[in-house]
Amino acid sequence: AAADTSGADLRFAWAYRPTAGRWMVFTRTDYKRDTREDALLTAESTRWVQNLHYNLQWNPATQLGLQLGVRHVVSTFDDEQYSGVSSLLGADLRRDLPWRPFGRALDVGLHGAWLRSWESGVGEHSIGFDLGVTLATNIWLSIGYNVDGFRDDDFSAARYTDAGPFLRVRIKADQDSFRDLRLDSLRPSR
């Protein structure tokens, strides 16, 4: 017989971006619950994950970003229950470069993260660098390399932490991004 599985994810996020300020704060809380039951095993996992991001525009060309993440996990396998707390501390430093090839803005970044599981005493870290280019208004691409790294699905969405090369694309979309898009332009002509 097939296993009976279910999952739920409840998310709350909040951002503070003052128009005239040099700093902004973003926080996100996730509550995740997964269950699985089959003939051999009944398992349940509940995770609470809190991520706090702080970004400071140090000067017009330099930004500093900090991340603090905390995760509490409770897992039950049949009648045995396990729990643990992990935390992540990350930092990013970005600097605009004065050189603008083909009229495109370039920036360079250094980043690092430290992940610690408190009950087991195990820690991992990630450190790397990247070069970014603004391809068009609100479109940014970076290519980078992490000298050392780790993988963690709960914390890695905000930063790339795996070891090795990576490519990232960020696109900002808001209420004005598609203002000039006419739906009839998407329909085939008759």
pLDDT of residue 40: 85
Q: Is the pLDDT of residue 158 over 80?
A: no
Please give the pLDDT value at position 29: 95
Q: Does position 176 have pLDDT exceeding 90, yes or no?
A: no
Kind and range of the H or E element at 47? strand 42-59
Considering only residues 1 and 17, tell me which one the structure prediction assigns the higher pLDDT: 17
* pTM recorded for the entire structure: 0.79
23-37: strand order across its sheet: 4-16, 23-37, 42-59, 62-77, 80-96, 106-117, 122-136, 139-148, 164-171
| Residue range 107-137, pLDDT digits in tens | 999 999 999 999 889 999 999 999 999 988 8
Residue 90 has pLDDT above 90, yes or no: yes
Q: What's the whole-number mean pLDDT along residues 173-183?
A: 66
In the prediction, which pLDDT does 107 show?
A: 96
Average pLDDT over residues 159-184: 78
15 falls in which pLDDT band (50, 70, 90)? very high
From the list 115, 112, 5, the residue with the least C-alpha distance to 49 is: 115
Q: What is the mean pLDDT of the chain?
A: 89
Mean local confidence (pLDDT), 73-93? 94
Task: Quote the longest CA-to-CA distance of the chain.
Answer: 67
Mean pLDDT along residues 11-21 = 92
Q: Point out which residues pair with 108 in neighbouring strands.
A: 95, 131
pLDDT given at position 38:
87
| pLDDT score for 62 | 96
Res. 186 pLDDT band, cuts 50 70 90: low
Q: What integer pLDDT is reported at residue 156 of this predicted model?
A: 73
The percent of the chain in helix, strand and coil, each rounded to the nearest 5, is 5, 65, 30
pLDDT band at 173 (very low <50, low <70, confident <90, very high): confident
Residue 91: both structure tokens together: 């930092």
